[in-house]
């Protein structure tokens, strides 16, 4: 169980997160909000890459920060930026990430093969990531996030910049990540998560507006018929399904 207690984050005078409290149990969660809402900031705090100004992240009641390597080994994270590892081949990137995660040399080969197969990139494994399409880059990021079968998987805008066919592929990959895990996926595009998330967390200007199942959100936000309409209610017309820009 992942618990966020009263998390606030300031960048100088800018308040990116404002008293976020949340409890996540196994399941797929969609973190939905427009650009600038604070999604990446929240994910960076959950993954321990960024310190909150105040508040705490707890894993099964323990302070994640104090757990150190034990927390990192149960965590898989795909950051929003691409292009960091363009000169690596797929296989080298995955070996590197597997080593960072502390997966033993003995287990690495099988585990890398498993995740490559999972995202259907086995045939491209020996090519540099720089030659991959946007969709393939996102898939290799998802692949490294599930190396070692982590209990907590955090995916920051895994569908950003992808064409519709690639979006479906990533969505199916996420849906099929096996079993008893907490999977948190951020997006500003409703259709990416509407059908796969057990619950949606609506984030606006650093605050959680609501957190519920899609049917409950629809009921609560004016008895509308889908998540797109909830989004319009909460965030206004101008931001709806705008996938043209990403940070
Ligand atoms: N390193 C930073 N320094 C200053 N402001 C930042 C920094 N990172 C993010 N912000 C600001 O914090 C807010 C939330 O950003 P971010 O978490 O990236 O949102 P999202 O991922 O939802 O687009 C935005 O207003 C953004 O400009
Ligand atoms: Mg972001």
Does the CB atom of residue 2 touch ligand 1 within 6 A? no
In this prediction, residue 237 carries a pLDDT of 64
In this prediction, residue 240 carries a pLDDT of 46
Does the CB atom of residue 36 touch ligand 1 within 6 A? yes
Mean pLDDT lowest among 92-101, 223-232, 238-247: 238-247
Region 206-213: mean pLDDT is: 97
In this prediction, residue 238 carries a pLDDT of 55
Distances (CA, A) of 62 to 99, 214, 235: 25, 30, 35
In this prediction, residue 174 carries a pLDDT of 92
What is the C-alpha separation between 12 and 16, in angstroms, rounded?
10
Residue 206 has pLDDT above 70, yes or no: yes
Ligand 1 centroid to residue 36 C-alpha, Å: 5
Per-residue pLDDT of 104-116, as tens digits, reads: 999 999 999 999 9
Write the Ramachandran bin of 148: left for phi over 0, alpha for psi from -120 to 50, otherwise beta: left
Q: In whole numbers, what is the pLDDT of the chain averaged over residues?
A: 92
What is the C-alpha separation between 15 and 7, in angstroms, rounded?
11
Residue 243 has pLDDT above 90, yes or no: no
Neighbours of 13 (CB within 10 A): 5
Residue among 8, 20, 36 to mutate when testing ligand 1 (max atoms within 8 A of CB): 36
Task: Name the residue at shortest CA distance from atom 27 of ligand 1.
Answer: 36
């Amino acid at each position: 169980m992942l618990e966020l207690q009263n998390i606030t984050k300031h960048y100088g005078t800018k308040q990116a997160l404002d008293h976020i409290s949340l409890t996540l149990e196994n399941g797929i969660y969609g973190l939905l909000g427009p650009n600038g809402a604070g999604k990446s900031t929240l994910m960076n705090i959950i993954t321990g890459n960024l310190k909150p100004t105040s508040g705490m992240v707890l894993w099964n009641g323990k302070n994640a920060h104090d757990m150190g390597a034990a927390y990192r080994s149960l965590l898989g994270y795909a950051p929003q930026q691409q292009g960091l590892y363009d000169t690596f081949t797929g296989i080298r990137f995955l070996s590197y990430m597997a080593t960072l995660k502390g997966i033993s040399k003995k287990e690495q080969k099988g585990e890398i093969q498993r995740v490559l197969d999972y995202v259907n990139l086995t045939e491209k494994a020996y090519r540099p990531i720089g030659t991959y399409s946007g969709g393939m880059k996102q898939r290799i990021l998802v692949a490294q996030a599930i190396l070692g079968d982590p209990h907590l998987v955090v995916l920051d805008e895994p569908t950003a910049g992808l064409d519709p066919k690639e979006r479906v592929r990533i969505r199916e990959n996420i849906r099929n990540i096996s079993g008893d895990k907490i999977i948190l996926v951020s997006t500003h595009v409703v259709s990416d998560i509407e059908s796969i998330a057990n619950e949606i967390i609506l984030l606006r200007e650093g605050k959680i507006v609501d957190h519920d199942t899609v049917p409950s959100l629809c009921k609560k936000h004016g008895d509308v018929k889908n998540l797109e309409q909830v989004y319009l209610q909460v965030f206004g017309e101008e931001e709806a399904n705008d996938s043209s820009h990403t940070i």
